[in-house]
Structure 1
Amino acid sequence: MAKVGIVMGSDSDMPVMAKAADILEKLGIDYEMTIISAHREPDVFFEYAKSAEVKGFKVIIAGAGMAAHLPGMCAAIFPMPVIGIPMHTTSLGGRDSLYSIVQMPSGIPVATVAINGGANAGLLAAKILATSDDAILQKLKEYSKELKEQVQAKDARLQEVGYQNY
């Protein structure tokens, strides 16, 4: 049963949302990915958000651009955590999306990652699940160790060849 719902407003969001899915796959967390437009098919959206808890979702990651209402509307209906990913836009560089997601009214929180922050959204979902799942917690610790080792390897190379040859 999927623990995380990944939902986006358009297939143009796929490259960013795929980064969230990649992290969840790496950590062995089941998810379901869907494209739903809150504005163009509100009936489909409402059914998705209303049924998410019954489907077993513990977290929803919702990505949207421009007038980014998808994450906030998920949070208004789904009783558990929602993570919003603001999409970069050509007109306002994603600030429109960021403000639409982060500026939620009191009582309807949406955890918001950086513009195009798909990987961090996946990691935040995993961290939320890890509060009650020791296996996920262990995988997150291993992931952090891998990140540390990557930085150490880069520094070792820098020390060996110098910045001019890096």
Structure 2
Amino acid sequence: MDKKSKALEKNQAAKVAVIMGSDSDFPTLKSCIKLLKDFGVEVQAMVCSAHRTPDKAAEFAKNAEKNGIGVIIAAAGKAAHLPGVLAAFTTLPVIGIPIKSSTMDGLDSLLSIVQMPTGIPVATVAIDGAENAALLAVQILSGLHPELRAKMKDYKKKLAKKVEEKNNDLQEKLKEI
């Protein structure tokens, strides 16, 4: 990649695509989308099925990088092939979110996403792990967007502060015993 291309990449906005296999996945993904926006990441969200609209899924993945996407988050339940199908058509990082379904409490989804063949990696978070998917996307994007790394450091400091507050509350409760 030449210097001009690298400069263009760095000036490009941090952008994540959040793709769901069904609109029924939206309640799970809402926290992911909100967290990405809280970090100042541009979000493109859509419903696209690996099985019902495979051509659309392939076309989206093939053009994602050209359209400014830096990371793809894909959520699906049951057979959960969407993250793997998207990963097959792009070199962008793909994060899979297994969605809890009525069958096997989402274990089927988890196994479908995590068992990818060599050469087609999909980073996988916990069943319904939408917030961790957003945080992983932010960490990946922080390589080109240092301001995101600073925001992530602040976010982790806030998490640590909450734990300390809870510990202080526990210590007060223990005095009463």
Q: CA RMSD for the aligned pairs?
A: 1.6
SS at match of 1:93: helix
Q: 1:31 Cα deviation (Å)?
A: 1.1
Structure 2 equivalent of residue 24 of structure 1 = 36
Q: 1:51 Cα deviation (Å)?
A: 1.5
CA distance in 1, matches of 2:130, 2:65: 22
Q: Which runs of 4+ in 1 moved over 4 A?
A: none
Report the identity percentage.
49
Q: Find out whether 1:107 has 2:119 as its counterpart.
A: yes
- Structure 2: runs of 5+ lacking an equivalent: 1-12
CA distance in 1, matches of 2:176, 2:48: 49
- Report the TM-score when normalising by structure 2: 0.88
Q: 2:130 aligns with which of 104, 110, 118?
A: 118
Structure 2 equivalent of residue 137 of structure 1 = 149
Equivalent position amino acid for 1:117 in 2: G
Q: 1:162 Cα deviation (Å)?
A: 3.3
- Report the TM-score when normalising by structure 1: 0.94
CA distance in 1, matches of 2:138, 2:157: 16
Q: 1:132 Cα deviation (Å)?
A: 2.1
- Structure 1: runs of 5+ lacking an equivalent: none
Q: Find out whether 1:56 has 2:65 as its counterpart.
A: no
SS at match of 1:28: coil
SS at match of 2:105: coil
Count matched residues.
165
Contact 2:125-2:133 within 8 A present in 1 as well: yes
